[in-house]
Structure 1
Amino acid sequence: MNIEKSDYLIGWRCDLQYHSCPIVQPPMVIHTARTDLDFHDQEQMKAEFWECLIRFFVCLVLASYEKQLYCYLPNQTPDGLVELRKEELIRLRGDGTGERKEWDRIYDYDYYNDLGNPDKGLEYIRPILGGSQLYPYPRRLRTGRPSSNHDFRTESRPESFNIDIYAPPDERFSPKKQSELISNAIQAAMCLVIPEAKAMFKEGSSHFESFNEIAQLFTSTRDQGEEECVVKNLKRAVPDDFLKKIKQVIKKNPVKFPLPEIIAGNKFVWMDDDEFGRQMLAGINPTVIQCLQRFPPKSRNGVKSSIKQSDIDRT
């Protein structure tokens, strides 16, 4: 090979063969800078290279597909896969010891021995759920956290606001979904915290005094003073990494409830009889609707309805 002509040789060799998958043995060669080739030859060489590369990856896909179609029982495992199968089984079963780490893939189970927190006091002691002769179940996924200081049978509890609890990769949220879940949870919590904080310092009744107060829960206006006060108080209660996520959510999203679509066009639509009936039928408990037994209807406190027979006749 003439180095002065800047020949670069790239080759792949695939010796995999699963049943019908053919063996790929190029060599696949691409010369990235050949001074002795004209433009047509260079383009033809590139085309041949990409054709071989596509064949190579198709072979890998077929090999993987064929491999999935053929599963072996333990007594039928090929000799070359016996040790690998044992190692994989250990990785999935574990040995029942040690604390689970994020990179583990172990499915191991334990009793519910973390319901209480003896380190906080006697009133926080809880019995172990499961493992007895009478009630051997339920079981939970084993995390292997250290025992509490005051009761070796009770597993220590995770820290407050700690969401990094072990779960096997197959059961774990993807990073994108986990981030979305945290953001939505923080936003929902902030929508609750700020109105509750305002109600604590409000003199007199804590109920809504007007419909405008209800509408203010859904407006997009933001009170920076309220948000800064809430974040300042949260510094003493949550870890730093969780506090950073709270700040990011507050920065991206207004600390208000999203405006319901039903009142986006008309905020008094709930006063319409048709809409009231629709919400009644589409509500969470439409079984509370009862057939009218007597007319005119009367409420529980004895107040008669203002509906008259003439009103019904007109409809």
Structure 2
Amino acid sequence: MFTAQPPRHFNSTITTSSAPRSLAAVIAGTRKHGSIRRTPRPELGTRATGIRSIRAVISSEDKAVGTATPPSTDSNGSLRSSSSSVIDVRAAITIRKKMKEGLVDKIADRWESFMNGIGQGIIIQMVSEEIDPETNSGKIVESPARGWLPKPSNRSYILEYAANFTVPSDFGCPGAVLITNLHAKEFYLMEIVIHGFSEGPIFFPANSWIHSQKDNPESRIIFRNQAYLPSQTPAGLKDLRCQDLLSIRGNGKGERKPFERIFDYAPYNDLGNPDKDEDLARPVLAGEERPYPRRCRTGRPPTKSDPYSESRIEKPYPVYVPRDETFEEIKEATFSAGRLKALFHNLIPSLAATLSSSDNPFKCFSDIDKLYNDGVLLKHEDGKGVLENLLLAMLMKKVLSAGTVLLKYEIPAIVSRDRFAWLRDNEFARQTLAGVNPVNIERLKEFPILSKLDPAVYGPPESAITKELIEQELNGMSIEEAIENNGLFILDYHDMLLPFIKKMNSLPGRKAYASRTVFFYNKAGILRPIAIELSLPPTQSKPQNKHVYTHGHDATTTWVWKLAKAHVCSNDAGVHQLVNHWLRTHASMEPYIIATHRHLSTMHPIYKLLHPHMRYTLEINALARQSLINGGGIIEACFSPGKYAMEISSAAYKSMWRFDMEALPADLIRRWASHMVCHK
């Protein structure tokens, strides 16, 4: 084995791979731990003008090509050298800088642009899809990016540079480029387009951060926009395809750095902070007792109090996610991640403190109306810097005055039409189908209703909702006929919540019941609730601690019925956020995203289909672990389960989550019936 000789001067000499049998050696001249590295090059010389000397190394022997005249353009717009044995091609490199720059950023950009312009900032290596039979390696040419191309006047943050190559006429179609960033910091590469080959313009979409050589000496591999199954990979790209996958898997050791692209697995062991407060300790969600989807590994050291828990990073410091999974500037401007964190940590506690203070509690429904009509006064120091920068126009309004912030919420559409609509049974039922959580109601398929919990622990499995009680609301129809006609539905949170009710009720200021709600869909096409069962865990004195509530016929029973609906809504809100939203939408997706990046090349057609749906999910999940679902976070503060919220989410994952039942129409068929679901 031997390596290709590096060119003496970038400005005048280009080399192709000659004889090395290791692709990494062709690219770098060295191999270390299976990674791709470039051999340190001589100082870049001054760019030659006029006639360029070209030295091409083809196969195992050097063939002097001689002196080439400046390139000319053929009828197809391709660059051609006067010599028939070589082709002159040009790569257009598109880089995006920050849209909003400070003074320091502008100075740094000017320097980097200058270094790029003289060819000392970015090195491009172009790899052919064809293989040299004597080397078993793809042919390679190298050139620095230098010079500026005209840029659109309406996009000043877009920069374009050119790299000129002279390649043998039998070089073949380029299938990959390797980027080496000689700058001290990363840059964002949008794309590379190579002009001059008979195939026409060849596109290499990147949309990726290219790390600095100081952070990582390995070159970045970017493949052209052509999908290949592994068995279809051109011979010249097979080694690169494997190397690219290996480079993002990591070795499971050490703390991840912000510039890295490592996708690895870790359990949910960073939600608690026992070093700060014993009450903030949270169990690790993993294993048979508390199973949970894996998250992206960050590798932070363990806490001092619990060796199984990972230490936390609190705001404003970011949690590691692979570099290209972080929000782009455009995405961050719309999603406003930093502002949402400010909202969670600054605005909501101030608002909660204001609303829960002893001199300003909710004494009646009119106090709730004041949130929309009169607003809430916050101290200016609590809201300063948050509301002024918060983009929540559809949610709330703000009016700033001396020393105070007046916070006014937008009136919900249903309340603007009917102030007390939310109290009515038909709106309660409508919300189960068209509200924020329409994915738990299901058809009642059998009666009596039975629990699947252990009767030795949680009492008799039979529900307290009886046949006689239900038939009173069926307009003369028997319960068997109602089930046969698909007229009965149930919203059942009994088994999910009952094991946690005792813990939840031990928290100060919390009171909860496990609930079941039965609905009847009558001949008039109206869905309405007809019975609510609220349950507590059995005790020695009350082995059957269940109560059923129905429509009232006097003021007392009517308001008890509304209170029962309020408990159902409380349970529904918690299940929506912890199970249907967080678990089924965010957490369960994360291991699939990690596996996709670890096992599917960016050339794989399945990867290309999945990538738009996976983007930014890891960043959103990391922000949630930092501020939303963590111990003492927003979910625990605002929902009834409190500190046991994520344990409930884990229990739901254990008992109900199945990959093959998450998609449509399987979920609808499971909850409703096959003949009720349109399969077209």
Give the TM interval when normalised to the shorter protein.
0.5 to 0.7
Give 1:81's aligned residue.
237
Matched, 1:92 2:92: no
**Corresponding residue number in structure 1 for 2:389:** 248
Q: Deviations over 1:183-232 (max 9, x none)?
A: 456557736733641541517xx224463x33331248685xx2414247
Indicate which of 106, 109, 115 corresponds to 2:265.
Answer: 109
Distance 1:131 1:297 in 2: 47
The aligned amino acid for 2:553 is K
Residues 1-315 of structure 1: pairs in structure 2 closer than 5 A: 13-14=88-89, 59-60=200-201, 68-73=226-231, 78=235, 80-120=236-276, 128-130=284-286, 139-159=294-314, 161-162=315-316, 164-168=318-322, 171-179=325-333, 180-182=335-337, 183=339, 186-187=342-343, 190=347, 193-194=350-351, 196-202=353-359, 206-209=361-364, 211=366, 213-219=367-373, 223=377, 226-231=378-383, 247-249=388-390, 254=398, 255-264=407-416, 269-270=418-419, 276=424, 279-284=427-432, 287=519, 289-290=529-530, 298-299=553-554, 301=556
**Mapped partners of 2:303, 2:129: distance in 1:** 52
TM-score by length of structure 1 reads: 0.53
Question: Counterpart of 1:228 in structure 2: which amino acid?
Answer: H
Deviation sequence 1:59-105 (CA, Å, 0-9, x none): 3357889852333349x661x33442343123220121222233322
How big is the shift at 1:142?
0.6
Given that 1:99 and 1:144 are in contact with CA atoms closer than 8 Å, whether structure 2 keeps it comes out as: yes
Shift of 1:165: 2.0
Q: How many residues align?
A: 237
Of Structure 1 and Structure 2, the greater strand share is in 2
Give 1:164 shift.
2.3
Structure showing the higher helix proportion among its residues? 1
**Which SS does the other structure have where 1:88 is aligned?**
helix
Distance across 2 between alignment mates of 1:278 and 1:230: 40
CA distance in 1, matches of 2:240, 2:552: 77
| Distance in 1 between residues matched to 2:228 and 2:365, nearest whole Å | 69
Return the alpha-carbon distance in structure 2 between the equivalents of residues 281 and 218 of structure 1.
Answer: 25
Contact 2:415–2:421 under 8 Å retained in 1: no
Describe the SS at the equivalent of 1:68: coil
Q: Distance in 2 between matches of 1:144 and 1:297?
A: 57
Letter in 1 for 2:408: K
- Give yes or no for contact 2:267–2:293 (8 Å, CA) kept in 1: yes
The equivalent residue for 1:29 is none
RMSD of Structure 2 on Structure 1 (CA): 5.1
CA distance in 1, matches of 2:227, 2:276: 54
Task: Mark the CA change 1:56 to 1:218 in structure 2 (over 3 Å): closer, same or farther.
Answer: farther
Does the 8 A contact of 2:303 with 2:310 survive in 1? yes
State whether residues 343 and 386 of structure 2, in contact with CA within 8 Å, keep that contact through their aligned partners in structure 1: no
3-state SS of the aligned residue for 2:309? Answer: coil
Alpha-carbon separation, structure 2, partners of 1:117 and 1:63: 44
Secondary structure of the residue aligned to 1:289 is strand
The more displaced of 150-159 and 176-185 is 176-185
Q: CA deviation at 1:109?
A: 0.8
Asked if 1 retains the 8 angstrom alpha-carbon contact of 2:375 and 2:409, the reply is: no
Give structure 1 stretches of 5+ with no counterpart.
Answer: 3-8, 20-31, 33-52, 233-243, 304-315
**Matched-pair contact (CA < 8 Å) for 2:273–2:281:** yes
Q: Tell me, what secondary structure is at the counterpart of 1:270?
A: coil
Q: Distance in 2 between matches of 1:92 and 1:277?
A: 54
Aligned partner letter, 2:310? E
- Helix, strand or coil for the counterpart of 1:93? coil
In structure 2, distance between residues paired with 1:271 and 1:135: 42
* Preserved CA contact (<8 Å) 2:254 2:299: yes
1:133-159 deviation digits (Å, cap 9, x = unpaired)? x98975332101123335554321222
The code of the aligned residue for 2:262 comes to I
Question: What SS does structure 2 have at the residue aligned with 1:81?
Answer: helix
| Amino-acid identity (%) | 25
| Alpha-carbon distance change, 168 to 209 in structure 1, aligned in 2, over 3 angstroms | same
Q: Distance in 1 between matches of 2:229 and 2:311?
A: 41
Aligned partners of 2:267, 2:557: CA distance in 1, in Å? 56
The higher radius of gyration belongs to 1
Q: Which amino acid aligns with 1:248?
A: N
Distance 1:124 1:220, change over 3 A: closer
**TM-score, normalised by the number of residues in structure 2:** 0.28
SS at match of 1:256: strand
Partner letter of residue 197 of structure 1? T
Mapped contact 2:300–2:310 kept (Cα < 8 A): yes
Asked whether the equivalents of residues 194 and 202 of structure 2 are also in contact (C-alpha less than 8 Å), the reply is no
Query: Structure 1 pair 73/220, CA: closer, same or farther in 2 (3 Å)?
Result: farther
Q: Which has the higher contact order (CA 8 A, sep 6+)?
A: 2
1:13-65 CA-partner distances (Å, limit 9, x unpaired): 4389989xxxxxxxxxxxx9xxxxxxxxxxxxxxxxxxxx9987993357889
CA–CA distance in structure 1, aligned partners of residues 348 and 278 of structure 2: 35
Q: Distance in 1 between matches of 2:284 and 2:421?
A: 55
2:347–2:386 CA contact under 8 A, matched in 1? no
